Amino acid sequence: MNSSKRNKDNTKLTKEQRQMIEVFVKALPRLRKQLGVSQTVLGEKIGISRQMVSFIERGVCPMTWSIFLSIALFFKVNYNRDKEQLNDLDKFLLVDIDELKPNG
């Protein structure tokens, strides 16, 4: 996805969604390190490159809503057993991400 497409996607976000992404981007490196997930592994699991994860964490590229949801669901699904470490994620999400999972 090129940068103009990412920027266009982010213009459709609500104020609350932009705030969620902003807070999440700031917390992502700490959360990722707490859970022992490298940029490479995170990128592979959600379908983006390690470089893109790095760019997002450093604020070089904006995080899209779809990437935000992918990362949030990755952590929630894969680390749900470790409630203490997920407290950070839950604090930063203003929605219950279990509600975002497809039913079935």
pTM, 2 dp: 0.68
Comparing 98 with 35, the larger pLDDT belongs to 35
Nearest to 100 by CA among 70, 78, 80: 70
Q: Please state which CATH class domain 3-100 belongs to.
A: mainly alpha
Name the DSSP class of 8: H
The pLDDT value recorded for residue 12 is 83
Task: In whole angstroms, give the CA distance from residue 103 to residue 86.
Answer: 22
With beta carbons less than 8 A apart as the criterion, state whether 71 and 46 touch. Answer: yes
Average pLDDT over residues 26-41: 89
Comparing 25 with 101, the larger pLDDT belongs to 25
Name the DSSP class of 91: H
User: In the block, which residue shows the tokens 């995080």?
Assistant: 63
Residues 60-80: pLDDT tens digits?
A: 999 999 999 999 888 876 655
